[in-house]
């Protein structure tokens, strides 16, 4: 017999956004939180930086807003920026009240300054802020009697009244795969919140965990919600290129201390892109590396600091030195192989200030959402702030919405009767590799019309093959992630085709100039009007 649950609020995703929202709801509200892995497996746990907010009397909200607009190449929405900045301090105060151990100096919270910020406004917990926030919020959620935590559950799809052929469309729950049993379970809920993170895994190289497969964005799109600015991903310029390195980042401080970027033949190239050479802003550096890799057909480029004394390198970059040494690379003697890595999805599901999507009963918060805060680039440390601010705002609206009359609908069990076990799982792994490879080659930082057309052709074929596979075989975590990743890749490609200019990080050789007006690329699904 199929397992079915009844909750007031279903939150898909257990990072900073999802946990914050849950903890802002009253104790009488019954909440379920689904985590695709364990509770520590998301991007929040790995976040090294801090959280940006106006916490110093010499700083101002106007300055923070201005810095955000400049960093986003004026594509950010001024109202969303102001909203986020205005609620920054109270969000930080709440984290302090929860017990997050932020770093202090002489009894005061220590604030740092990061790229793009005109003032010290980054509150942090050493260099592992995300871990400190996540650990504190998990403990609070585990202690709450009204919150049930489901680990190793992968959301399959949202359930709407329209899908059940009922009038007055609304999101009423979701199907989720219990990875332990292999069976799909039903979560019936008055409100559903997508807090599933971004879609960085659509690219070959990424700094994010394996779970960043755009699940929430893909599910919302299939349910009839619009998405915006999906073509913009923030890239870290230098990720270690090694088959065993996964997502190890080489800090930009290496360039700050004299590290030189080199082509495979040892030639320097940054002078051709910016007079500041290696000390140019990260977007310019990432774009230059990507351009040269594509021009040469190279697998990677190189970052060399071996001309510095060995003791200097070991003192300033002990972690990088040890990590590379384990992989057979001695950075005191040879250059580091590097590639740009997808770091943050700037676009997403369109929402308002309350986190509400186009579909009643469905909310999107955190990296899953397009709020307008991040334009063509993300200002450092604004992302965790966005999670907190919009989670708290969405919680307020959910509280009000729960008191409105609504018909309870029994969601039918997931039908597994017409499918069989696959003996061809190699298809999933092959398609996964192919998708990430052509997205990197054709839809990376530097783009052309021809590259985008090639990518669109390939993703169309891939979507057909996945659809056929999905229809005939029992679903698995890998298949669900591949399906979502392909949907999101298609959205990225389509958005990039609409962006006939170069803005922020992304550069289009066919349209090298910035358009006179910064406009969003908005995609509307065919079922948007099915209400």
pLDDT for 514: 95
Q: What is the pLDDT of residues 120-161, one digit of tens each?
A: 998 988 878 889 999 999 999 999 999 999 999 999 999 999
Task: Round to whole Å and give the CA distance between 75 and 68.
Answer: 10
Token reading at 392: 């708290």
Token pair 């364990």 is found at: 38
DSSP output for 455-488: HHHHHHHHHHHHHHHHHHB---HHHHHHHHHHHH
Task: Round to whole Å and give the CA distance between 319 and 194.
Answer: 35
Q: Which residues, other chains included, contact 265 with Cβ-Cβ below 8 Å and sequence gap of 6+?
A: none
Helices and strands: H and E segment counts in the chain: 15, 22
Residuewise pLDDT in 10s, the chain (531 residues):
689 999 999 999 999 999 999 999 999 999 999 999 999 888 888 887 789 999 998 999 999 999 999 989 999 999 999 999 999 999 999 999 999 999 888 888 888 887 788 899 989 888 788 899 999 999 999 999 999 999 999 999 999 999 999 988 999 999 999 999 999 999 999 999 999 999 999 998 888 777 789 999 999 999 999 999 999 998 888 989 988 877 788 888 889 889 999 999 999 999 999 898 998 878 889 989 999 998 999 999 999 999 999 999 998 888 889 999 999 999 999 999 999 999 899 999 999 999 999 999 999 999 999 999 999 998 888 999 999 999 999 999 999 988 777 778 899 999 887 777 777 778 888 888 899 999 998 998 989 999 999 999 999 999 998 888 888 888 889 999 999 999 999 999 999 999 999 999 899 999 999 999 999 999 999 988 765
Q: What is the 3-state secondary structure (H, E, C) of 45-81?
A: HHCCCCEECCCCCCCCHHHHHHHHHHHCCCCCCHHHH
Token pair 């200097």 is found at: 312
Catalytic (active-site) positions: 282
Nearest of 281, 198, 262 to residue 233 by alpha carbon = 198
Overall pTM surpassing 0.85 (yes/no): yes
Token reading at 118: 């005109």
Task: Round to whole Å and give the CA distance between 501 and 518.
Answer: 10
Residue 45 burial (C-beta neighbours within 10 Å; 0-12, 13-18, 19+): buried
pLDDT for 350: 98
Token reading at 64: 């923070």
What does CATH list as the number for 426-511+519-523? 1.20.58.100
**Domain map (residue ranges) of the chain:** 4-230+346-401, 235-342, 426-511+519-523
Q: Which residues, other chains included, contact 354 with Cβ-Cβ below 8 Å and sequence gap of 6+?
A: 363, 393, 394, 396, 397
Task: Round to whole Å and give the CA distance between 503 and 497.
Answer: 14
Residue 57 burial (C-beta neighbours within 10 Å; 0-12, 13-18, 19+): exposed
Contact 268, 318 (CB under 8 A): no
pLDDT for 248: 80
Topology alike, domains 235-342 and 426-511+519-523: no
Token reading at 362: 């469905």
pLDDT for 35: 96
Nearest of 346, 350, 213 to residue 283 by alpha carbon = 346
Token reading at 453: 């057309």
Arch. (CATH architecture) of 4-230+346-401: 3-Layer(bba) Sandwich (3.50)
Class of domain 235-342: alpha beta
């Amino acid at each position: 017999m199929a397992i079915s649950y009844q909750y007031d609020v279903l939150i898909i995703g257990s990072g900073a956004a999802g946990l914050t929202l849950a903890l802002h709801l009253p104790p009488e509200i019954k909440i379920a939180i689904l985590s695709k892995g364990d509770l520590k497996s998301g991007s929040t746990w790995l976040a090294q930086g801090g959280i940006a907010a106006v916490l110093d009397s010499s700083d101002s909200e106007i300055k923070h807003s201005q810095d955000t607009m400049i960093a986003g190449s004026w594509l950010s929405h001024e109202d969303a920026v102001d909203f986020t900045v205005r609620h920054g301090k109270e969000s930080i105060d709440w984290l302090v009240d929860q017990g997050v151990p932020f770093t202090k100096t002489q009894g005061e919270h220590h604030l740092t300054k990061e790229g793009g910020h005109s003032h010290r406004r980054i509150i942090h917990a050493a260099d592992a802020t995300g871990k400190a926030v996540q650990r504190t919020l998990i403990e609070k959620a585990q202690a709450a009697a009204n919150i049930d935590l489901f680990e190793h559950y992968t959301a399959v799809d949202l359930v709407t009244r329209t899908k059940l052929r009922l009038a007055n469309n609304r999101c009423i729950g979701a199907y989720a795969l219990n990875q332990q049993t292999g069976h799909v379970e039903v979560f019936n809920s008055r409100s559903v919140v997508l807090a599933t993170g971004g879609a960085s895994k659509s690219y070959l190289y990424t700094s994010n965990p394996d779970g960043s497969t755009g699940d929430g964005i893909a599910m919302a799109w299939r349910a009839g919600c619009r998405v915006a600015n999906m073509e913009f991903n923030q890239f870290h310029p230098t990720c270690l290129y090694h088959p065993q390195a996964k997502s190890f980042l080489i800090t930009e401080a290496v360039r700050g201390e004299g590290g030189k970027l080199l082509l495979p033949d040892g030639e320097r190239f940054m002078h051709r892109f910016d007079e500041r050479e290696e000390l140019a802003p990260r977007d310019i550096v990432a774009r230059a590396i990507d351009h040269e890799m594509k021009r040469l057909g190279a697998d990677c480029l190189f970052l060399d600091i071996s001309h510095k004394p060995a003791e200097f390198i070991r003192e300033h970059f002990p972690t990088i030195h040890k990590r590379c040494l384990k992989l057979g690379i001695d950075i005191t003697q040879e250059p580091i192989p590097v590639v740009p890595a997808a770091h943050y999805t700037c676009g997403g599901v369109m929402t308002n200030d309350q986190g509400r999507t186009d579909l009643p009963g469905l909310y999107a918060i955190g990296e899953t959402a397009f709020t307008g805060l991040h334009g063509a680039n993300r200002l450092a440390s604004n992302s965790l702030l966005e999670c907190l601010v919009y989670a708290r705002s969405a919680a307020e609206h959910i509280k009000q919405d729960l008191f409105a009359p609504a018909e309870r609908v029994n969601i039918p069990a997931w039908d597994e009767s017409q499918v069989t076990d696959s003996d061809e799982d190699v298809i999933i792994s092959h398609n996964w590799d192919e998708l990430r490879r052509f997205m990197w080659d054709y839809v990376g930082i530097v783009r052309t019309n021809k590259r985008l057309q090639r990518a669109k052709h390939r993703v169309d074929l891939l979507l057909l093959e996945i659809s056929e596979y999905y229809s005939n075989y029992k679903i698995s975590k890998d298949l669900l992630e591949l399906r979502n990743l392909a949907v999101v890749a298609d959205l990225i490609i389509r958005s990039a085709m609409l962006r006939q200019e170069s803005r922020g990080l992304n550069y289009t050789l066919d349209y090298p100039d910035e358009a006179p007006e910064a406009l969003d690329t908005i995609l509307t699904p065919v079922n948007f009007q099915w209400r």
